[in-house]
Structure 1
Amino acid sequence: MRLLERVAEHQHGAPAKQLARETGLALPTAYHLLRTLVHEGYLRRDKGLFFLGEAAERLGSSGAQQKRRSTVADVLAQWREAIGVPVYYAMYRDGEIEVMCVSDSPGSPAVEEWADFRETGHAHAVGQCLLAQLDEDARRDHLDRHPVRSLTPYTVRDDHTLLRRLERVRRMEPVTERQEYALGTVCAAIPVTVGTTAATIAISLPAHQADQLLPAAQQLQHEISCFLGSLAISISI
C-alpha cells in the first residue's frame, strides 16, 4: 500500500530505487513487491519507471463512487429528519428507472416494493416524474418495454392517458400520485435535472395523511434548492 501511495504521488513515474528509499523498504523487497503489483495490474512499468495501473485506477474510481453514495445518503437522511417522511433518490439511466438510495426510519417506513419499480414507472410518482423529463420518443420507448397495467383501482388506465398527464407536468413542478402504486400510500416527486440526466427526489406518506403531502413536497423543494450544489456533484452516483 505504501508503494502504491508513493507511485500515486509521482505523476511522471518513479524508479524502484527511489520508491524503496521513500517507503523505507529494502531494495530487494521493493523489487519483489513492485513486480507483484505489476503482475496484478495495480502498477505498470515503462522504461524503468512505475505508474499506477488499471486495477489501481478502478479501485480509486470505486472509492470515489462510494464517497458520492455516502454524500447522497447523508443528505437524504437530513431531509428525512427535517420533513419527517421517507425520502427517495432515483434516476433514469440506460433506459431504466433506478432507485439509487432510500432514507427511512422505523416510524416512517419506505413504501414496500411489491411490484418492480422499473416496470411500473407509470404507477408511482418517481417513475412519472422521471418519464415527464424525457422527450416523447424516449417515453414511448419506455412504455413499449414496460406497458401500462393496473396495480390498484387508481392506477392510470392506458398509455394515452398517461402521456397526456406527463405533457401537462410543468418544469420543477412536483408530481403526485395517490394510491396508484400501492393502496394506502400517497407520493410526491420533485424533478432534478443536471445536464441530460433525469433524476428525482421523492417522498411518501400514508393515505390518511394525504393532506400533508403537498406541504411536505414544498418543504422538500426548499431543502433541495439549499443543497443543489452538493447534489449536482453527486448526481452520477
Structure 2
Amino acid sequence: MAAKASGGVQSVERVFELLELITEAGGNVTLSELSSSTDLPLPTIHRLLRTLVSLGYIRQLPSRRYALGPRLIRLGEGATKQLGALAQPQLKSLVDQLGETANMAVLDDDMVIYIAQVPSPHSMRMFTEVGRRAHTHDTGVGKALLAQLDDDVVRGIIARQGMPRPTNKSIGTIEELLADLKLIRERGYSIDEEEQELGVRCFAMAVPNSPTPTAISVSGPVQRVDLAFSERAIPVLRRAAQVISDELNRN
C-alpha cells in the first residue's frame, strides 16, 4: 500500500472516500455514478468495491448497484454509543443547571434517533427512551438537525418520511417547515412548541462541526419551560454544544 506524503495510507483513504460517496448518494449507487463523483480510475474503484463486498461492508444488489453493507451497522452502533457517552457529562451539566431533561440525537436514515439522555430530577418530566426514532419535523432536535441541511435535502426527507401530526400544534406543510427552519438558522436554536406532545416544550441546538448531524436539547412541561427558562437555557445549551464539538474534533 502506498503511503501519502501527509502520512495517510492512500488505499485506506480511497476506501473511505467511496463509503462516504455511497452514503451521500443515499446508500446505493452504480459504478458509473461513483466513477463520475471521484477522480479515482475505474479499475481502482472496481477493485476496492470487490474487496469491500467480500468483507461485508458493501453489498452488490441484483440491479448491479452497490449499497452499504450490514457490517457497517455494527460499526455505526458502536460509534453512536461512544458519541452518546462522550456527551453524557455535558447533558448532566445541562440538567444540573436547568433542572430539565437533556437529550442528544442524530440524523439516521431520514429520522431522528435519540442516543443519550439525562433525566430531570422532577417527578413530572419529559422522558424519551434512548434508541427511540422520531420524525424530524415535529421534534426540537429534529428541526435543529434539518436546519443544518439545504432546503432541497429537507424536501427529500419529508417526501420519503411524510409529515404526521402527533398534536394539533404540529407543523403540517413543507412550506411551514421551511419557514421555521429559516428562523432556526437565523437565531441558532429550535423550539418544539407542543408539536410532539401536548404540554411539553423543548429547546434544541445543533452541535457545530459534528461529523454527522447532531443536536442536543432540554425539554420539560410548559409550566416550567417558559420564556424565562429559555433566556437561561439558550446560553447554557450553546456552551454545551460547543464543548461537545470541541471534544469531537480534538485530534
Shorter-normalised TM-score: what interval? 0.5 to 0.7
Q: After TM superposition, give the deviation of residue 225 of structure 1 in Å.
A: 3.3
**Larger gyration radius, structure 1 or structure 2:** 1
Q: After TM superposition, give the deviation of residue 60 of structure 1 in Å.
A: 11
- Alignment of 1:186 onto 2:201: yes
Alignment partner, residue 212 of structure 2: 197
Alignment partner, residue 131 of structure 1: 146
- Alignment of 1:122 onto 2:137: yes
- Relative distance call for 1:106 and 1:148 in structure 2 (3 A) is same
- Relative distance call for 1:112 and 1:106 in structure 2 (3 A) is same
Counterpart Cα distance in 2 of 1:61 and 1:136: 26
SS at match of 1:121: coil
- Relative distance call for 1:230 and 1:110 in structure 2 (3 A) is farther
Alignment partner, residue 176 of structure 2: 161
- Relative distance call for 1:183 and 1:195 in structure 2 (3 A) is closer
Alignment partner, residue 70 of structure 1: 85
Alignment partner, residue 79 of structure 1: 94
Counterpart Cα distance in 1 of 2:167 and 2:124: 20
TM-score by length of 1: 0.62
Counterpart Cα distance in 1 of 2:87 and 2:173: 35
2:167 corresponds to which of 152, 156, 160: 152
1:216 corresponds to which of 214, 233, 239: 233
Deviations 1:50-101 (A, max 9, x none): xxxxxxxxx9999887655433223311222122221111111343322111
Please provide the CA RMSD for this pair: 3.3
- Structure 1 gap segments, 5+ residues each: 1-58
Q: After TM superposition, give the deviation of residue 158 of structure 1 in Å.
A: 1.2
Deviations 1:101-148 (A, max 9, x none): 11114426653459x964422111111111111122321121012211
TM-score by length of 2: 0.59
Deviations 1:187-217 (A, max 9, x none): 0111113255211111112111222134212
SS at match of 1:170: helix
1:90 corresponds to which of 105, 129, 144: 105
Q: Using the aligned pairs only, state the percent identity.
A: 23
- Structure 2 gap segments, 5+ residues each: 1-73
Counterpart Cα distance in 2 of 1:135 and 1:75: 28
User: What amino acid sits opposite 2:106 in the alignment?
Assistant: M
SS at match of 1:88: strand
Counterpart Cα distance in 1 of 2:75 and 2:120: 32
Q: Please tell me whether the aligned partners of residues 210 and 245 of structure 2 are also in contact (alpha carbons under 8 angstroms).
A: no
Q: After TM superposition, give the deviation of residue 232 of structure 1 in Å.
A: 3.8
